[in-house]
Amino acid sequence: MKEKLEQIFADGQARIENALSASALADVKAYLLGKQGAITEALKEIPKLDASLRAEIGRAANDLKNKFTELIDAKREEISLKAAEIPSDFDLTIPGAPPVSGALHPITQMCYDLNDTFRSMGFEIFEESDITSELYAFDNLNFPPDHPARESMDTYWIAGHEHGRGGERLCLRPHLTGASVRYMQTRKPPYRFVYPGRAYRNEATDARHERAFFQYEALIVDRDFTFSSGKVMIKSILSKIFGRDVPVRMRIGFFPFVEPGFEIDMGCLVCGGAGCSVCKHVGWIEIMPGGTPHPNVLRAAGLDPDEYTGFYVNIGLDRLTMMRCEIDDVRLFRGGDLRFLRQFC
């Protein structure tokens, strides 16, 4: 009898071991422990045994039952874990599921980068409407009455309002600078603000020229401010935008609304200043005009130019974005082509 039990154990152990699925294991369990199972059958034999052996065999049979139960439970656990296991041939190279894929226009991105940078230096943001008047586009900015920009076809004048003078003569703004006077007229100095926006010029378009472009101006006005500080300001901003130290130079330039006026160049980032086709072999790229507000502009804003001074910069965002993203045709910005715009997600 003892031998028989041992044989049942060995056989049962093998059966449990060989069961590969939950259902096979259930069959094994029924075979071993069920109502007609091996153990039950074995227990039926006990009454036939010699009384002295009954207790011992009975205990052994019970032990066997418990052992099988344990083994089966362990096996069940093993099978269920195995079932939840990740197949080893899972492909790790399948592409990730993309998140919602909208994007801001690359110029908007640049504009917001600048906004954030200027905000961190305490600048307010101001917006002026796109249609302005000769009064703000020219008169207030010290453009002489006979300045070519006023008469020429460079400016988009509004039909029916193109023949008036000053505040009655309307145009799509040819630059943003007029907005600075609007801001100053409605607030108290000192000032520290930026005013991004679209500007328009009536000219033929090509890879480098646009009729509608995006500008970004900043103005500081205070009692003491020298152009040397203006240079510091420009350098900090460009270095933030491009993520590295950017050499800046200010050279003399002429614009009616500033005195002194400067052309501001940044070191060519393509060649590092050594000279290349991008910078026309001079190592510098002209990126913005700037300078001290002309006394007549401050007067137009209601300030005393003997008391106040300041610094303007006027950044061409199209150009700056082209440089940052290595875009070679300015017309792509207003083409609305998603094959272009989706590259800036």
Partner 1 sequence: MKISLNWIKDYITLPQDITLSKLAYDLTMSTVEVEEIHDLSLQFEDMAVGVVREVLPHPDADKLVVCTVDVGDRDGGGTDACDAGEAILRQIVCGGINVAEGMKVAVARPGSKVRWHGEGDLVELKKVKVRGVESYGMICSSSEIGLFDLFPYTDEATIMDISEFEANAGTPLAKALGLDDIILEIDNKSLTNRPDLWGHYGIAREISAIYGLELKEISPYDARAKTDLIPKSNREAFQITIADPELCPRYIGIRIEGISINPAPFHIQSRIWRVGMRPINAIVDITNYVMLATGQPTHAFDADIVSGNINIRRAKDKEDLLLLDKTKLSLTPDDLVIADEKEAIALAGVMGGEKDSILQSTKNVILEVANFNALSVRRTSMRFDVRTGAATRFEKGIDPERADIALSVAMDMFSAFFPNMEVTGYHDNYPNKLQQKEIFVSHSWLEKRLGMKMSRDYITRLLERLGFEVSFDLNVPDCANAAAADPGGDLMRVLTPTWRSTGDVGIPDDIVEEVARIHGLENFEPAPIVTAFSRAINQPEIEIDRKIREYLAFRCGMNEIYSYPWVADEYISAVFGSEALISGADMLKMSSPPAPNERFLRSSLLPGLCKAVSDNLRFIGEFAIFESAQVFFDRDYSSVYDKRESLPLQRRHVAGAFVAERDKYGDVFRRAKGAIEAMSRNIHIEPIILRQCDSSAKPFWADDTIWQTITTSDPASNPTNNAVKDGGDLAADNANISGGSAIGMLGLLSQKAAQGCGIKNAAVLLFELDIDALSPLLSRTNTFSHIPEYPMTEYDVSLLFDSSVKWEDIHNTACANRSSHMGKSAPQGSGQGSNLRGVSFVEEYKGKQIPDGKKSVTIRLLIGSPKKTLTSEEIESQAGATVKRLCKALGGELRA
Burial of 26 (0-12, 13-18, 19+ CB in 10 A): middle
**Least Cβ distance, residue 242 to partner 1 (angstroms):** 19
Q: Which positions from 94 to 113 touch partner 1 by CB under 8 A, shown as an x/- string?
A: ------xxxxxx-xx---x-
For residue 288, give Cα distances in angstroms to 214, 245, 262, 285, 320: 13, 18, 9, 9, 10
Which parts of 241-280 interact with partner 1 (CB under 8 A)? 249-254, 259-263, 280
Q: What is the CA radius of gyration of the chain?
A: 42
Is 122 among the residues that bind partner 1 (CB under 8 A)? yes
**Least Cβ distance, residue 315 to partner 1 (angstroms):** 17
**Least Cβ distance, residue 305 to partner 1 (angstroms):** 8
Dihedral pair phi/psi, residue 91, rounded to 5°: -90, 110
Residue with tokens 């011992």: 56
Dihedral pair phi/psi, residue 267, rounded to 5°: -60, 140
Is 220 among the residues that bind partner 1 (CB under 8 A)? yes
| Closer residue to partner 1 in complex, CB, 68/136 | 136
Which parts of 157-216 interact with partner 1 (CB under 8 A)? 157-160, 162, 166-168, 170, 172, 182, 185-186, 190, 192, 198, 200, 202, 211-212
The whole-angstrom separation of Cα 174 and Cα 172 is 6
Which parts of 44-83 interact with partner 1 (CB under 8 A)? none
| Closer residue to partner 1 in complex, CB, 54/249 | 249
The whole-angstrom separation of Cα 152 and Cα 148 is 6
Which parts of 296-315 interact with partner 1 (CB under 8 A)? 305-306, 309
Is 289 among the residues that bind partner 1 (CB under 8 A)? no
Q: Which of 86, 153, 277, 326 binds partner 1 (CB under 8 A)?
A: 153
Coil, strand or helix at 170: strand
